[in-house]
Structure 1
Amino acid sequence: MNFLFAWRYFRSKKSTNAINIIAWISVTAITVGCAALIIILSVFNGFEELVKGLYTDFYTDIRIAPAKGKVLKLDAVQLQKIRSVNGISVVSLVAEEKALLVNGPYQTIVLVKGVDEQYTATNKISEHIKRGKFLLGDAETPQIVLGYGIENAIGADVEHSLYPLTLYTPNRKAKFNSLDGLSVNNITASGTFQVQQEFDNKYAFTNLAFFRYMLNMEADEYSAVEIKVKQDENRVKEALQQLLGNNYLVQTRYEQNKSLYAVMKMEKWIIYAILSLILVVAAFNMIGALTMLVLEKQKDIAVLQAMGASKKRIQSIFLSEGLLLAGVGAVLGMILATIFCWIQIRFEPIKLAGDTFIVKAYPVKLMPADYLLVLATVTAIGFIAAWIPSRKASKQELALK
């Protein structure tokens, strides 16, 4: 019954036209606020999915690294136990260290990963080769795959290279300030990958046997073990941590990039809070519209009181009116946002500036959770905004004359 009264008051023409205008201004503001919230949250969802997809292509499901230092020791028995853990699909051994890569007058610092034959089965890095091929060579004839930014930094050409590159790596067994503190070797560039700028400017790949030789590693020494799983990675992580003990750091993909995911979530919530201010501004318009409506409907309130309506009933009627205004604005905003996002997904009319992005248009992903969040926000703000004028209406003592 409360909403029947509210719907009638919403549709009926008021004696003062300003009441209608203010009411529709509040509905429009809520519509714009809801649409903006859903669109922005959907864009954040799109970028988050894009970044996660790129990180999924580069990082493995689980990584085992030393809890202290740069080198972990794993003998054949330990490796066999790791491979036998239920849920593990592929195990890859990695040696990793910073190195100096030189091409004639050009040079740059890179993070080189020496990987075994199983590495490309743990992630999708080989699918991001832009030029050349993902060839790593062997211990005698090493080859290197460069990030796109590294190739540009040293002026290399992986498809038409006449001379090999020179790789300088630290010799862990050399004495401090010794002239033998660096290992030097020539290496041929075979390909270039392009995932995203963070990786393209930092990483290069070569074969494990060659790079372990360059780093002077023992037979049972590695930098990390990277693993692909075929079931719940958290369960596999717990099993590995229990097997290896506290001297080994076992991390899931999320834990390897915990700060990134935390920042992305924080940015999304900050934007949500800022855009919610639009709805707060709309709430002030709603308070004004409902206050004027209470003054407009004083005779109706008097009739209801004469018929025995309680103060709670009268308050509920005007509270329902406020929720109705908010609800109409929310529904219109959701419809508008859905249409806008569908157009962007289908036709991509809004492009990203520049040519350095992997995607050409703003990515968008609609999620039901965002709709529920926005609806809950509008309901809460609408309820608070309607409380003040509805409370005032219930306290009025009017009489019919």
Structure 2
Amino acid sequence: MNVPFLIAQRYFRSKKKRNIISIISNISMIGVAVGTMSLIIVLSVFNGLEDLVRSLYGKSDPDLKIAASKGKSFEVNTFLLERTKAVPGVAIVTEVIEDNALLRYHERQMVVKLKGVSENFYAQSDIDSAIVDGDHRLRRNGQDYALIGAGVQHELSIALENRFSPLQLMYPRNVAGKRTLSINPENAFNQEPILAGGVFYIEQHLDDSYIFVPIEFAQRLLNYGARRTALEVKVGESRPIEEVKAELKQVLGPQFTVLDSDEQHVSLLKAIKVEKMFVFITFAFILLIASLNIFFSLSMLVIDKRKDVAVLMAMGATPNVIRRIFLMEGAIVAQVGAVIGLVLGVSICWLQQQFGLVEMGMATSVVKAYPVKMQLADVLWVGIAIVAITIIVSLRPALNAPQIDLRENL
């Protein structure tokens, strides 16, 4: 029989408890409940945002991306392609040329990210599902077309398939391997016209700066020849991505880096994780402040129950048993508040997932409501934080409880 727990439970349920102690205990439970609920909701929102970023970039990102360890580009030949394709699990290899270029349309112009891709690009990318206007194909009936972001179209007021005013893409000419600028603009830039064939709407960074074109067009404009900035790899379902990534690293050697989806956007995802960590720490401190009421209620309860403590010690209860009684009392108050907060937090997150109660409030947002995703790890961390906070605020009153004069209180 756990005597300290039974006594602590009786104190918690006692109707004879002084009114002010009861009020402070209830405030403590409410504070812990609100803090727990807030932590669960905020952490779930950060999880949802992290998943949203992955899903948005997943429409255009490959499973694996092979790039040069040093420099921006590397030579691609048949031997390199065959070595890459020979790795078990590699389903598709797409050649990519990506660089900055100047886009001009009528009297407007802007710098864009030009991404030239080989014909099998759509076999591994879901960007065709993000097309909001026009056609996703980059080559039709022998004609090259550009796939532009919605932000680029809006910035330059581009009309699709306007044969009278095609897009003009410009890139500094290379002389002896170096970019040079001439006083005469006609000699300073390579210039290639192309029709805008489709518009995609994925994520603001991509929408506002990217243009996809056939790789042959990018070769002509950028004068890359056999060089490529990346090889994008689609991994088949027969083998895990991590295994394919490890073998590609071994086959290609140290002159190449192999990046998975998260590593391609490591800065953004790391920023979300860091923000999530600081929010957790901030809310944990708020929870600690709210839990200080437990300290005050226990301190008052120790004073109120001095006669009970004296009787228990006279009957043979050790100081350790007395301390455990009040530690248990603090734990019960915190646990009841935590369970209420956990139920409320999970319920609100579930309602948000099902019905989207709280909307983003932005017309340009790709999702209507705030995304949320509940994770067991978050619940465990919240539980650990509550246990630690409960011990911190309950320890001092519990240590003071046995320090009474038996003769004065019997």
* TM-score (normalizing by structure 2): 0.93
Q: What do residues 258-316 of structure 1 show as CA deviations (whole Å, max 9, x unaligned)?
A: 11111000000111111112211122111100011111111111111111111111111
Tell me the percent identity.
38
Q: Structure 1: 5+ residue runs without aligned partners?
A: none
Within 1, Cα distance between the matches of 2:141 and 2:72?
22
Q: Quick one: which amino acid aligns to residue 229 of structure 1?
A: V
Please point out which of 182, 195, 203 is paired with 2:189: 182
Q: Is the 8 A contact 2:181 2:189 kept in 1?
A: no
1:225 aligns with 2:231: yes
Please point out which of 206, 213, 233 is paired with 2:213: 206
Q: Quick one: which amino acid aligns to residue 210 of structure 2?
A: Y
1:155 aligns with 2:157: yes
Please point out which of 74, 87, 99 is paired with 1:85: 87
Q: Quick one: which amino acid aligns to residue 59 of structure 2?
A: D
Which residue matches 1:172?
174
Q: CA deviation at 1:202?
A: 1.1
Within 1, Cα distance between the matches of 2:152 and 2:402?
72
Please point out which of 365, 368, 374 is paired with 2:376: 368
Which residue matches 1:18?
20
Q: Quick one: which amino acid aligns to residue 361 of structure 2?
A: A
**SS of aligned partner of 2:406:** coil
Within 2, Cα distance between the matches of 1:138 and 1:214?
19
Q: Quick one: which amino acid aligns to residue 190 of structure 1?
A: G
**SS of aligned partner of 1:264:** helix
Larger CA deviation: 136-145 vs 74-83? 136-145
Q: CA deviation at 1:181?
A: 3.8
Q: Is the 8 A contact 1:133 1:190 kept in 2?
A: yes
Within 1, Cα distance between the matches of 2:110 and 2:253?
38
Within 2, Cα distance between the matches of 1:159 and 1:114?
19
- After superposition, where does 1:30-45 map in structure 2 within 5 Å? 30-45=32-47
Which residue matches 1:256?
264
**SS of aligned partner of 2:59:** helix
Larger CA deviation: 238-247 vs 314-323? 238-247
Q: Is the 8 A contact 1:138 1:210 kept in 2?
A: no
Q: What do residues 362-394 of structure 1 show as CA deviations (whole Å, max 9, x unaligned)?
A: 111111211111111111101111111011002
Q: Is the 8 A contact 1:138 1:209 kept in 2?
A: no
Q: Quick one: which amino acid aligns to residue 135 of structure 1?
A: R
Please point out which of 365, 372, 380 is paired with 2:388: 380
Please point out which of 282, 302, 309 is paired with 1:274: 282
Within 1, Cα distance between the matches of 2:18 and 2:10?
16
Within 2, Cα distance between the matches of 1:365 and 1:255?
21
Please point out which of 121, 141, 145 is paired with 2:147: 145
Q: CA deviation at 1:159?
A: 5.9
Larger CA deviation: 112-121 vs 29-38? 112-121
Q: What do residues 329-378 of structure 1 show as CA deviations (whole Å, max 9, x unaligned)?
A: 00000111122122222222211112110111111111121111111111
Query: CA-atom RMSD, angstroms?
Result: 1.8
Within 1, Cα distance between the matches of 2:298 and 2:131?
62
**SS of aligned partner of 1:394:** coil
Which residue matches 1:313?
321
Q: Is the 8 A contact 1:65 1:225 kept in 2?
A: yes
Which residue matches 1:338?
346
* TM-score (normalizing by structure 1): 0.95
